[in-house]
Structures are given as structure tokens and as C-alpha cells.
Amino acid sequence: MKNLMFLAFIFICVNSHAQSNNPKQLVIDFFEAFHEQDTVKLKTFATESLQLKSVSMNAEGKTTISTSAYSEFVKSIASIPKNVKFEEKIHEYRIEENGLLSTVTTPYTFFYNGEKSHCGINVFNLVKMEGDWKIIFLMDSRTKQHCN
């Protein structure tokens, strides 16, 4: 029994390490955890100081930027009722990587209970820390116009 538990532990460690060694895979895993409302897993993808920024246009046509702590984002994901269906459909992954820094850009369309809500672009800035990629900055744009 101890051997079986040890092997399971090793598999989990190797699997989680492999996922964080690739910027694209980290973002894919982020969205899987997001859709599953897995707040424990979501916390593992980011640095403690991560803040999120959202860019949108207000009713007067002015660009607004809002900022929130990653911890607040994680709490908001946990508070979504289980009967609500949401999906952030990613259209593609654009990746720039250079040593310790990577940027992953993902155009998306967001659906809420099957209805198109908005669209935009996510920009993930990642840093390689002790061999693992972590999100250090996350910004998105949100619009209801020109959505695919």
C-alpha cells in the first residue's frame, strides 16, 4: 500500500511539473481549472503578487482599466453557482518565449449560460521560477462588438 501511494505521489509531482514547464500548457491548464472552478489548482499557476487588469469601454465611450487581486478573482470563481454554465472559448495561442520570460496571448469569446456575453484578448505574462512557469501579470480586454 505504501508503495502504491508513493508511486501515485511521484506521478502527480512529475505530471504537475511537466505542465508548468511549457507556457502554452500552463495557460491551457489555467483555463481547465477555471472552467472546473478548481480554486486550489488556480492558486498554483500564479505568483502571490499577481494582479489582474481588465480594459473595456464605458457607456460614454471612454477606455476604463480595472484592477483586482488574483485572490479576489479566485474567490469570484468559487462563488459562481454550479447551475451557471460559463465558457471562455480560446481561439488561438500566440506565444513569445525568451529564457525566463514568456507572453501568451489568447483571443477569446466568453459564453454565459450558452449565450455569447463578450469577447476580447487575454495577455498572460509568465516568468520561469525555479524551472516552473508562473503567471506574474494577466490583462484582458472586454467588448461586445466585433465578436466572432
Domain parsing of the chain, residue ranges: 2-141
pLDDT digits (tens, 9 = 90+) for 59-71: 999 999 999 999 9
Buried/exposed 23-33: b ≥16 CB within 10 Å, e otherwise: bbebbbbbbeb
Average pLDDT value for residue range 47-59: 94
Q: Which CATH number fits domain 2-141: 3.30.565.10, 3.10.450.50, 3.40.50.970, 3.50.50.60?
A: 3.10.450.50
Q: What does the chain come to in residues?
A: 148
Does the structure show a pLDDT above 80 at 20? no
Integer CA distances (angstroms), 108 to 47, 99, 145, 148, in order: 23, 27, 13, 9
pLDDT digits (tens, 9 = 90+) for 87-135: 999 999 999 999 999 999 999 999 999 999 999 999 999 999 999 999 9
pTM of the full predicted structure? 0.84
